[in-house]
């Protein structure tokens, strides 16, 4: 029988390779790489025994283990599966038609956005000068209700002095994250998921890892003011923007917040 290899087979191999690469990258970031490699070795052994050697007894046993193991993997990798499914569904929403035609953004919307972000920018600059640590998360498309529930509800207008008072060193809420949603300060003292990405520079502390964690699990923007250096950083879409000036912070928030 001649070996038949067509375009569909090539596409099939490429898609499987892409899925395996994405899973490898995801497991590496979550420090589950060894478990992932062990699972892949088991799958290869199962395929070799059942398909190549055609050992019916051992193949039947491995078939049963694979059926039970699928449930075990869902439990074991529930966070990774959740992140994978979220990344599939969290495509950036289509921008306004004006951005496609030539960035003709409505001036009223732009002014409203500036009024929203300027108290945040000014508070971050003042806290940066005083080396006051802060972590501010701005909700976008994905709701952060589960994160809000971990802190103390505030539900106040966005105000520069309020932000600075919350992160004042003697404040009981200064260690957690502030959540801003629907143009209001929803809560403070919130607990964020911590990223285990090994590529994060070692000089960055727990606030930065928490900011990276929420940016990986959602489409939120996380602003960090370092307590040690006073530097301002932004975590967004799983990437850091470090050592930002006031102008750079304002530009990022203006372009990313609807």
Highest mean pLDDT among 40-54, 66-80, 236-250: 236-250
Closest CA to 189 of 135, 229, 122: 135
Instruction: Write the CB contacts of 174 (distance below 8 Å, at least 6 apart in sequence).
Output: 132, 133, 134, 166, 167, 168
Comparing 50-54, 182-186, 237-241, the range with the smallest average pLDDT is 50-54
Confidence of residue 96 (pLDDT cuts 50, 70, 90): very low
Range(s) within the chain of domains with CATH label 3.40.1700.10: 102-256
Q: Is the pTM of this model over 0.85?
A: no
In this structure, the number of other CB atoms found within 10 A of the CB of residue 88 comes to 8
- 156 forms beta bridges with 185
Whole-number Å distance between alpha carbons of 111 and 106: 9
Closest CA to 116 of 70, 185, 66, 174: 185
Angle between the N-to-C axes of helices 33-47 and 56-76, in degrees from 0 to 180, rounded to the nearest 10: 160
Confidence of residue 198 (pLDDT cuts 50, 70, 90): confident
- Mapped onto helix, strand or coil, the DSSP state of residue 180 is strand
In this structure, the number of other CB atoms found within 10 A of the CB of residue 135 comes to 25
Question: How far lies 11's CA from each of 6, 14, 22, 88, 194, in Å?
Answer: 9, 5, 16, 20, 37
Tell me which CATH code domain 102-256 carries. Answer: 3.40.1700.10
Q: Cα-Cα-Cα-Cα dihedral of 20, 21, 26, 30, to 10°?
A: 90
């Amino acid at each position: 029988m001649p070996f038949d290899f067509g375009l569909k087979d090539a596409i099939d191999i490429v898609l499987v390779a892409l899925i395996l690469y994405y899973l490898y990258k995801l497991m590496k970031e979550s420090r589950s790489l060894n478990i992932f490699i062990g699972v892949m070795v088991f799958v290869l052994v199962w395929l070799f025994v059942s398909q190549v050697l055609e050992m019916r007894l051992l193949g039947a046993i491995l078939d049963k283990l694979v059926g039970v193991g699928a449930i075990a993997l869902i439990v074991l990798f529930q966070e990774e599966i959740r992140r994978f499914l979220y990344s599939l569904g969290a495509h950036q929403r289509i921008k306004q038609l004006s951005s496609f035609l030539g960035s003709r953004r409505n001036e009223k919307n732009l002014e409203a956005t500036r009024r929203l972000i300027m108290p945040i920018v000014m508070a971050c600059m003042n806290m940066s000068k005083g080396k006051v640590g802060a972590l501010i998360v701005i909700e976008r498309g994905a709701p952060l209700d589960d994160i809000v529930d971990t802190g103390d509800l505030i539900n106040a207008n966005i105000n520069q002095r309020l932000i600075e008072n919350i992160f004042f060193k003697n404040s009981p809420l200064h260690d957690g994250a502030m959540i801003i949603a629907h143009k209001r300060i929803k809560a403070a003292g919130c607990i964020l998921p911590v990223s285990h990405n090994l590529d994060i520079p070692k000089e960055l502390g727990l606030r930065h890892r928490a900011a990276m964690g929420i940016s990986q699990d959602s489409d939120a923007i996380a602003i960090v003011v370092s307590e040690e250096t006073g530097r301002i950083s932004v975590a967004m879409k799983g990437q850091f923007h470090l050592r930002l000036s006031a102008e750079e912070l304002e530009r990022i928030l203006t372009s990313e917040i609807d």
